[in-house]
Amino acid sequence: MNSIAMRRARQAARRRTLQLLALRRAEAAVRGRPGRLTATMTGGQVRPGRREAGTEG
């Protein structure tokens, strides 16, 4: 495989990965993850997710 073919293969793999992540996010939004949403809407305390927690969490 030459460098152009390698670059195209990498780009295609990245595109597939991004599409898969977008699909998962959309499905999670449709499902609504009721536990977190209801606690947030009712004013209850919710532990932060992995992204929001930072290094101390």
CB–CB of 37/31 below 8 Å?
Answer: no
Strands (E), 1-57: none
Give the number of C-alpha atoms closer than 13 A to the C-alpha of residue 13, restricted to the C-beta side. Answer: 6
- 1 Cβ contact list (under 8 Å, min separation 6): 9
The more confidently predicted of residues 46 and 5 is 5
In a domain, 49, yes or no: no
For residue 28, the model assigns a pLDDT of 86
Q: Is the pTM of this model over 0.75?
A: no
In a domain, 56, yes or no: no
Helix, strand, coil percentages for the chain (3-state, nearest 5): 70, 0, 30
Could you tell me the residue range of the domain that residue 21 belongs to?
3-44
Q: pLDDT tens digits for 16-47?
A: 999 999 999 988 888 876 545 554 455 555 56
How many domains would you assign to the chain? Answer: 1
Q: What is the CA radius of gyration of the chain?
A: 18
